[in-house]
Structure 1
């Protein structure tokens, strides 16, 4: 029982990180109705900015405190992601208002390539380290209840809590605030939103800024675990099955989908892996997403789209 719970908890913590990545896709889709292929590049760009500013700032400002250097680096990287969001709206999105979804989709592909190129030029293309001071050692809990106790990774636990907090705050933002309702209105119909006075350009800057902040948090977490390198852009692929499972329009769906996939990966690898061979954790999420595409393409919490012809 203890081993099962240990595996389950590990899956839940991994699932929260998947939910955080998927959240970036959901945010952009809810505000523009387009799937954002630039999300992976945003995670990479934000992580590069955080890593390099944390490296440069102690020398520039004479900082000796790791915590202070990381805090300032995070704030500077967040400001940079706001500038990126403003430039995306000013140079790309404002010229694509009321265009077909396929046009916006191709625009996000172009944004992804630009971000990768600019990130390489500004920050370099080596492997960089992000050290935010999170403990790496595992901790043993509940040893008085289960024989041998449960071994929990401290870093995974802390990052899961951070991801859960951010997801919760964004859920409240979308559901309870006037700006959140305006974002949903823009996603439903650009022209209708403009006709009632919703400033489309401001809304897109806001949502890309929020998505940039989410990408920054995800980049710091994954950069701390894996190092900041250009393969980090492919981490966003882990969010694709999550949004397919939970639904492209649902923030709660991103949460539930991430948890289901995180737990499913861990349990299938541990209990099915010895029977049919290893590597299940790599392809489990994509097989589950394929099943949903066949039988429930809108996902668990997504809205079924009905076109009248």
Structure 2
């Protein structure tokens, strides 16, 4: 009887393994791999593309980590708090607080935050700097600039640059219109050598000349401007600010953001030098837009009436 011996499969060679693995791939893909393997140029191009794709994802990952992509926090309301209170509130959100300006508001507590940027409710990244304006502990003072002899526009710019404003324009007969004849602070004349100091924001009365043969000034449009911008625009053409009224609900901290939505007299009409223009202010942007359109329409009607009146006067002549 013949003895039976177990059958053993002979070991596969490396080439056999490659053939087995290659046969497991789809024919089209297998041919592509063979082509790439044999062509050194294609092989280098494929390798470069693969390296580029890997680098793209690595760099994108690193940048996302470095910039904290998608990690945003909501800026808290810091206005009305002291700087120390604001620091405690910002520690949770990892915000950096920086005081960039100070104003003196007598009705506010010293050290109280009056304004902030970014505004409350905005989404920012961690570590973002928040710029603050705080209420000074005492009013800042400076020397009132000497503006006598300058034009009204130059005088206004000099005062505003120094941090002062015009309290009132007083007109007197003179050969030149809008030439500053005198400036007063608390009833006393400012001279070139007086070096009178006053709190920043104080109002200065200017005595200005007017030649009565000069045409009356047109009232500019100030709807849509802040109170400070509206005042500056009216002073520039020789007009005073009349009554100022804010909508109900506008607090002390909101007055800087409120804008004019109504003015009387209306824009483009004429009035005497030194005349007063009353202003109404609101935070309602829709009210401002609606009033602006109505005011523009009234101005167009006024221009038509003025032109017709001028034509009638010429015909009478």
TM-score, with length taken from structure 2: 0.25
More RCO (CA 8 Å, sep 6+): 1
Larger radius of gyration: 2
Structure with greater helix percent = 1
TM-score, with length taken from structure 1: 0.25
